[in-house]
Structure 1
């Protein structure tokens, strides 16, 4: 029976007397590179769409990758490789090629015990894979290719509490347990996992079972972000909000949507500041919208509506952040084109750093070269400081 209080929790009692509780959650498998490629499992196929280039709503996709058996889980590497754990204990890996996706290899994971549940596979930093085995307890293992098979290389951690998150970020490895505890270990370390600390205190989410979670690194400091089924959003030991229904990670921002139908963009740098965190000002979105992904190094954000259709938007904070980078790098043509596309007062290009633009005026005129753009820029010049308006 479905749980009357906790949405998406299913209770099952077997004839043998065994009791099972299944918790379902919203999860998006998106690549970390600029294309923001999302993989959707559809039986023995993986439907792949790079949302950085195309906005195609499911069940449609840009292309479909056929596999030899039904897919249990997929995982993206930092360089865009895709690993798929199949139900017959084989692992298929794929890389992008000029003419589409190329199947590198489908190799047996021979050493995986058939009587264990394998889940939460993830790439580590050296081209291997990690996974969680569930049987009498929960074990994190590392796997490497050996004689054309994925074999268990090492047992990294054993826990009596279920492991629900397995995150490899930069040079660290992070685990979340069902009780909200976070553990960490450096990739180059031989020491066991130890509690993740924040200002000397062990990180523990106040709500258990934050299945939707991520770890971001801000100025070499790791921050765990988690969303509970009861809509609380946590950043390490702090509760950021109590009405969040989805979040996504961008290169410089954490984006969240709320039950008040607002989209908020929170700078990652602000997560390091002491004191209370806040969502800040937001923009209205359609009722029931959820974040699918935020394209890295871009301004595009993909939202999914309750009807299933997708919408691509460019939130103003992401646009302004991109403009700052373009102006600082003296990419004046790209900056003006961006301002024109998003209807931003071009006077901002001058007000951002008047001295720098004045010193590089000859370069500015040479790079623009388009009389229409130059006229639009001159028409927008005003005495007011647009950085404050």
Structure 2
């Protein structure tokens, strides 16, 4: 039977990771994989996580199952972190998931259950796994313009024109902050215009919020999501704790479903539990337990918030340094948008041939569309990258 299986296309990011590992050059630079790294190239365990783990080791007395939707304390803590009373608690259903990817997948499953003929509008570009999962599930996707490669900003006019084709019951996938892969974000005026259009068309927003705290801070990064949730009849919010808590391997995420009233919330909650049961039964608890411990303890939360701010400001500093270095070397402000982008990623607007030349000649690895992970740099490697970009004529 299994001889009938067809080879699946390789994941470009995973393939790039392997190529980087196989490269023997000592001065190679990895800007592909989307994890935060400090100046020493290490993805650190945050101080608050370490403290919470030590406390959990001392206090936990059982590893029994928690529940199909995960620990209610985790749901309450994450809802407060993301929505902060923007929506009444009784209007929010929530379930823990294996990472942000699990939340995204469960959101797509819930959407398909509600409307098998749904169309999901997806930004061009978007995180590649969005499209991969939707293709695997057989869900129709419609691309909407998002990134202006000339300015390095949002093509808002193009976006609104494409979303004008929305029909009632369609879903629009939006990045809550720190757009992946471009780093370009809408401002609040533009978010409001999108909300008004969604309500006018009767379309449902789905927000992927994977980087809260990595852009302009925890509260500012959550503001667009809170605006959406408080102004539309219903929406889905997929969240991840991988980046802002640094617990990538613990696979800690949550899907929230915001609805009109408590009756709708009850149905949504039962549906989320049902979907978890079908896909993986009980979600992982270790990372979720650590997150809820931190968010519910004032000292741990203060330490976590402080370290998260250090990480955010480090990335902003690297952005400003890279933009300045490129301006100095090239005599052009073409790459000035790098300092305006937010989060871990920026798309540089370099063609694939020059991206390949950066890899072959300089040992600099980035995705073929020229997306770079800012957190893969440090103050010593920024000048090396800038010089290489100028050398290849980008």
TM-score normalised by the shorter chain: which range applies? under 0.3
What is the TM-score of this pair, normalised by structure 1? 0.22
More helix as a share of residues: 2
More strand as a share of residues: 1
What is the TM-score of this pair, normalised by structure 2? 0.22
> Whose RCO is larger (CA < 8 A, sep 6+)?
2
Larger-gyration structure (1/2): 1
